[in-house]
Amino acid sequence: MLRIIVNSIIRGWKQMARRPIYICMMVIVPLLSAWFFFDLMKDGVVMRTPVGLVDLDKSDLSRKLTRNLSAFPQVSIKKTYGSYQEAIDAVQSGEIYGFFFIPSDFSTKALGNKKPTLSYYINYSYYAPASMQFKGFKTLSVLANGGIVKNVLSTLGMPDEMVSATLQPVVTHVHPLKNPWLSYNYYLSSSFVPCLLALIVMLITVFSIGMEWHAGTSRNWLRTADNSIVLATFTKLFPHTFIFLCVGLWIQYMMYVKYGFPLNCNPWNMIAAMALMIVACQGFALFICSLVPNFRYASTICTLLGMLSFSFCGFSLPEEAMYSWVSPLGYLMPIKYYFLISIDQALNGIDISYSRMYYVILIVYCLLPFTMLWKLRKNCLEPFYIP
């Protein structure tokens, strides 16, 4: 029996060695993607987004607005344009991501107790820079409105203390919990990168099984494992699991050690979650292969579900903002439970007993393919390939 296991594992390693795509997809792509995301937002948010300014007023008030805009860390005024059309052309050419527009009658209306209009234009084709621009432009507009009202009230003879109390009757103090730095990196990259890894795990699993059907070697695969489908799948996926686990642990090292992501629990809690997530994704993909004995269809299903996981698992869109029928779909994917564990354990640091059900569900996903291995064995004994 030991000899059969060793021969089956050696066969799996040889298959990976013959195809460079395995090493590329299993090691290079996830690690490069992880480094890209982690390093892209290592400062927490996208800073100093290049923007433009159109100041047709050229008054002391408009120049004060310009200085205030330059002080915001989210934006960086690269150039001042003489007209609206010049600024629009710069946005369309990619020179800037947006611009702030001050009309020619701004100071006249502001000092004449009328309603001046400030406009800002943002290219939302680039979501993260656009969000930072919107935050800076919106804040400046609100502050400009308050500054104008303050000047009017001071001109009418109201004391400065009463002016401040009128403009801001209630002072609020914001204390963000668990992520007081408001770092985009901590809540975006910590979900996107593991989800990408989960997608790759499922695709590689389907690819390795599907290539046996495509190449007509599925009978030989079973024969090497003494016609045991359990032994055949274990020995085939064991090398994959080992490599993916090493990659996953290195990603966690980059997150929690190199880039300082919050880790408010025992590190073994997240290590166990990563190991279970990898095996659960393999089990889910193996289950799909058993149900759909077609290389193209199985890979399409895993790709579709894996890509949609970025959205309906709550990574990029809050679950509360989803349609009522979309939110439950996220709970079909194993990566959803890794995401919930990372929130409970790494971010919130609550007792692991509160997350025990998520670990149990991941274990269930690991055992799921055993219910359909008989069908996978039948498909391997009677393989057929549909191009």
For 157-184, how does the pLDDT look when each residue is reduced to its tens digit (9 = 90+)? 666 666 565 555 666 666 666 666 667 7
- Say how far apart CA 240 and CA 213 lie, in whole Å: 19
The string of DSSP letters for 371-386 reads GTHHHHHHHHHS----
Q: Which residue type does 19 have?
A: R
pLDDT at 257: 92
44: alpha, beta or left? (left if phi > 0; alpha if psi -120 to 50): left
Q: How many CB atoms lie within 10 A of CB 13?
A: 13
Domain 49-140, CATH homologous superfamily name and number? abc type-2 transporter like domain (3.40.1710.10)
pTM: 0.76
More confident: 40 or 281: 281
pLDDT given at position 152: 59
Residue 170: per-residue pLDDT: 63
> For residue 356, what are the contacts with CB-CB under 8 A and spacing of at least 6?
none
Please, what's the b/e burial string for 47-81 (b: 16 or more CB within 10 A of its CB; e: otherwise)?
eebbbbbbbebebebbeebbeebeebebbebbeeb
Task: Please check the confidence at residue 68 and state whether its pLDDT lies above 70.
Answer: yes
Question: Mean per-residue pLDDT for 21-28?
Answer: 90
Q: Give Cβ neighbours of residue 282 (< 8 Å, ≥ 6 apart).
A: 201, 202, 205, 237, 240, 241, 366
pLDDT value at residue 186: 78
pLDDT in tens, 73-93: 778 888 889 888 998 888 888
Whole-number pLDDT of residue 107: 78
Choice between 382 and 160, residue whose per-residue pLDDT is larger: 382
Within the chain, what is the greatest distance between any pair of CA atoms? 96
pLDDT at 158: 65
Tell me what pLDDT residue 124 has: 78
> Is the pLDDT higher at 57 or at 337?
337
- Domains of the chain, by residue range, sit at 2-42+184-381, 49-140
Q: pLDDT band for 204, please (50, 70, 90 cuts).
A: very high
Position 194 scores a pLDDT of 92
Q: What is the pLDDT of residues 208-218, one digit of tens each?
A: 888 888 777 77
Pairing state between β 75-81 and 49-55: parallel
Task: Name the most confidently modeled range: 20-34, 111-125, 182-196.
Answer: 20-34
For residue 61, pLDDT over 80 is answered with: no
- Closest-CA residue to 77 (of 106, 45, 99, 47): 99
What pLDDT digit, counting tens, does each position of 289-342 carry? 888 878 888 888 888 888 888 877 777 677 777 777 777 888 889 999 999 999
